Amino acid sequence: MVERKDFATPVFPTWCPGCGNFGIWGALKNALVELDWKPEEVLIVYGIGCSGNGADFLKTYGFHGLHGRTLPVATGAKLSNHELKVVAVAGDGDGYGIGVGHFIHAMRRNLDITLIAHNNQVYGLTTGQTSPTSDKGFATKSTPTGVIELPVNPIALALSSGATFISRGFAGDIKYLTNLLVEALSHKGFSLIDIFQPCVTFNNLNTYDWFRDRVYKLEAENHNPQDKPEAFNKSQEWGDKIPIGLFYKEHRSTYEDELPQIAEKPLVQHDIENIDISSLLDNFI
């Protein structure tokens, strides 16, 4: 039986006191324990940003990659060994900015990967510049007169791109976030869990209290997660009322299901000793 201590490392988090990453870190450990996933069964691919520092604080297989490239690495790992439980961790600037193209294509392929997006609406690691999800008008050191563009809407983007599990959590409600993570990690297909993760140092607008005054749980309003048009309507809500929970879920064959090369066993278990690639190399001469 897996316990929380099985995921402990000698390194204590260096996040700012009160950072929303602590709530996500705790909820993810809770979820892994509830699922009884052993550390050696899990690969977590981290991007660059405050969330990426989690590579040092959670004992699983880990890969700390490049900014915006969590999903390409996670895709390669999943296709090499589809029996491995693969999770990608990215920030809003990481996943919805430079990595947004990979975000869209991973969803339309419906790879069996869970993306945990730490959404603090600011570039925290580089000391507080505007991110793709910053509210219009939000003033930062990179936009001192306020953000001009409209923010990226990751829920709406996921709905239009083919993700089969789309949810949103809040780092200030660890119990609820744990349950969402268990559902997302258990789903077969591409799972997005976009998490409001207050940055207590550089985002003085979208605070814990700001979210607590606004968030409500979709299931409290009897939302049907099989109703895609209504899920899109809910994704447009922002302001006095902001929904969290499961927006949409469907069952569809995964990218891996369609690959005959891994139908019998994972690629990493294939015997390559007697493979002759000389004819393939001749094509490049």
**Phi first, then psi: what are they for 150, rounded to 5°?**
-75, 150
Q: Which helix (H) or strand (E) holds 44?
A: strand 42-46
Q: What is the DSSP string of 130-153?
A: --TTPPTT---SS-TT---SPPP-
> At residue 111, does pLDDT exceed 90?
yes
Average pLDDT estimate for 245-260:
96
pTM, two decimals, is 0.94
Mean pLDDT of 200-216: 96
- Which range is most confident: 90-104, 124-138, 179-193? 179-193
**Model pLDDT, residue 278:** 87
* DSSP code at position 94: I
The CA–CA distances, whole Å, from 49 to 3, 17, 53, 239 equal: 28, 16, 7, 27
Mean pLDDT score, 158-170: 98
Name the CATH superfamily, with its identifier, for domain 4-282. Thiamin diphosphate (ThDP)-binding fold, Pyr/PP domains (3.40.50.970)
Closest CA to 134 of 166, 165, 92, 170: 92
In the chain, what are the helix, strand and coil shares in percent, each to the nearest 5?
A: 40, 15, 45
The span from the CA of 88 to the CA of 71, in Å, is 6
Residue 38 has pLDDT above 80, yes or no: yes
pLDDT higher at 276 or 194: 194
Domain boundaries, the chain: 4-282
Q: Find out whether 45 and 88 touch, Cβ atoms under 8 Å.
A: yes
